[in-house]
Amino acid sequence: MAKKVSLINMKGGVGKSTLAVNLAWHFAAMSKWIKKVLVVDLDPQFNASQYLLGVTEYDKIIKNNIPTIWDIFEQFTPLPGSPVPSALEPTKVIYNAKKFYAGSCIDLIPSRLELAFSLRNPGQKEQLLAKLISKIEDKYGLIVLDCPPTESLFTWAAYLTSDYILVPVKPEYLSSTGVSLLVNSMEEFKRRYEDHNLELAGIVFNATTEYVPEEITSKAEVKKIAQKHGWYVFQNEVSYSRSYPKGAREGQPIFRTSYSHLTQAARFSAFAEEFAQRIGL
Amino acid sequence: MTTQRELDLLVDLAKLLKKHGPDTFESLAESISSPEMTQHLSRVLTQVAKIARTIPKTKGEAGIKQEPRIPKSLISLKSAEPEKYQLLMNFYNDLIAKTVLPTLRDIKEFGVDCGLREIRAKSRQKAISPLISSLLKFPNEQLIARIQSLEKYDTGDRSLEGWSNIILNRQRRLGEKQ
């Protein structure tokens, strides 16, 4: 059964999509792991889909009306003149993004801009994703959900689907406050869904540079709050590197981005290993 | 009006002023301003260009990248096992184009995964021929499975223009519907 992890922070621009895709790639392509990985793009901004597919492949999905995450949330929405809606077949919404020689892969449930429209009428839709994923999770070793940075139907859909939450935090003032917002949201969720096991896998400092006083202060503050509430903070940080945005442009992970420093790839790898240990991968 | 190319030439010529002196430039300008001299120059330069084209390029010529040698054992497969030959030639061409196994490490890891002897080459270029030679012993079916399951590194269009077309076209279509 797959380990299901949502990457969430109630603050945008902390590097959730980049981290989600790089983690997926690490566990699918590194010969030590060779996991089949599914990435679920839950963000209407569809950055993870952009990273994994590129323009041509993504355009095919849109032009050919291939189902996306939007279809999962709207599968039972009746349309005038259409037959009575039935449950969406999971394989129709899963798109192979990368195949690797050892038999592993990165599959994707892509997102699209129209996903935001599902928020206009969110009633009873939050469980649909978890139901669909439960039908196919045995095929995967890891399922990574890339979430939007605001509390919504998608956040709860992610909680219901996941075993763990991973919180990337960019060590700066506004990004750090996003952690408390998220934990509030998780607590509210747990009150409503008492029987659902959802754990905070931990907080990872992302895009760190070590030299900025603001960063040092923010890290210290986040660690203090984490200690107070018993939240885990990953020892390995993902340091800032221009190779990350470059990798997104090239459609490559940090360890295959052209001219990326081995030290950056090694730091990411160290975090990925700690993450795997933490969630029992 | 002066074109950019003419300006570039002018800059190059100006750089030669120090080497040859302004007097030489003036006398040359005078000489080549006559139509006879221009025709003569044109003939000489055309002849030089023809000769340059016929001289074979040497192996060590600077700036020319040498592609790795196609293993003889692969070429010899052409008539005996045309299917395997074609498969490995396509793979070889993909390797040359770097659309597959783009780093030396990838080639080495692929070799290990295929159960081959360690490829000890120190550059990606030099690792290609030994890899192809080692794969010759594989049965066709296994070879096809191995090669087909490789990730191809053709990342396609990733331009911002492409993304903006997708986003803006979508919004326009929605606007028309509303």
CATH number at residue A15: 3.40.50.300
The pLDDT of residue A95 is 95
Task: Give yes or no: residues B41 and B83 share one domain.
Answer: no
Main-chain phi, psi angles of B31, to 5 degrees: -60, -45
Q: B170: pLDDT confidence band, cut at 50, 70 and 90?
A: low
- Report yes or no on B127 lying in a domain: yes
Nearest CA in chain A to B145: A101
Q: Which residues pair with A40 in a beta bridge?
A: A109, A145
Q: How far is B81 from chain A (nearest CA, A)?
A: 24
For residue range B121-152, list pLDDT tens digits in order.
888 889 999 999 989 888 888 787 777 656 66
Q: Is residue B1 part of a domain?
A: no
pLDDT of residue A261: 67
Chain B neighbors of A112, CB-CB under 8 A: 170
Contacts of B159 in chain A (CB under 8 A): 55
Are residue B42 and residue B77 in the same domain, yes or no? Answer: no
Query: Which string of DSSP letters, residue by residue, matches A112-178?
Result: -GGGGGGGGS-TT-TTHHHHHHHHHGGG-SEEEEE--SS-SHHHHHHHHH-SEEEEEE-SSHHHHHH
Contacts of A102 in chain B (CB under 8 A): 113, 149
Same domain, B90 and B133: yes
Render pLDDT for B33-86 as a digit per residue (tens, 0 to 9): 777 777 777 777 777 777 766 665 554 444 455 667 788 888 888 888 888 888
* CB-based contact A98 B151, cutoff 8 Å: yes
Task: Determine the distance in angstroms separating the CA of A48 from the nearest CA of chain B, rounded to an integer.
Answer: 13
At residue B60, the pLDDT reads: 47
Task: Mutate one of A66, A101, A105, A115 to test the B interface: name it (highest B CB count within 10 A).
Answer: A101
Of A176, A248, A4, A125, give the one whose Cα is nearest residue B159.
Answer: A248
Structure tokens at A182: 């998220």
Partner-chain contact A62 B150, CB within 8 Å: no
The answer to whether position A51 is within a domain reads yes
pLDDT for res A173: 82
B42 and B85, same domain (yes or no): no
CB contact under 8 A, B155 and A251: yes
Domain housing B91: 72-148
Range of the domain at A64: 3-231
The tally of domains found in chain B comes to 2
* Domain presence at residue B94: yes
Please check whether residues B44 and B78 belong to one and the same domain. Answer: no
Residue A101's pLDDT is what? Answer: 63
Together in a domain, B90 and B144: yes
B41 shares its domain with B84: no
Ranges in chain A, pLDDT < 50: none
Q: Which of B112, B138, B158, B167 to mutate to test the interface with A (most CBs of A within 10 A)?
A: B158
Give per-residue pLDDT as tens, B85-122.
888 988 898 888 887 888 888 888 788 777 788 888 88
Q: What pTM did the predictor assign?
A: 0.70
Residues from chain A that touch B153, judged by Cβ atoms under 8 A, are 252
- Check CB contact under 8 Å for A98 and B156: no
ipTM over 0.85: no
Edge-first strand order for the sheet with A3-7 is A95-99, A105-109, A36-41, A142-146, A3-7, A164-169, A199-208, A238-239
Site from A43, A55, A112 to mutate, B interface, most B CB atoms within 10 angstroms: A55
B143 and B88, same domain (yes or no): yes
Q: What is the pLDDT of residue B176?
A: 57
Residue B157 covered by a domain: no
CA angle A268, B105, A267 (to 5 degrees): 10
Same domain, B87 and B39: no
Q: Which of A58, A62, A101 sits opposite B146 (nearest CB)?
A: A101
A262: in domain? no
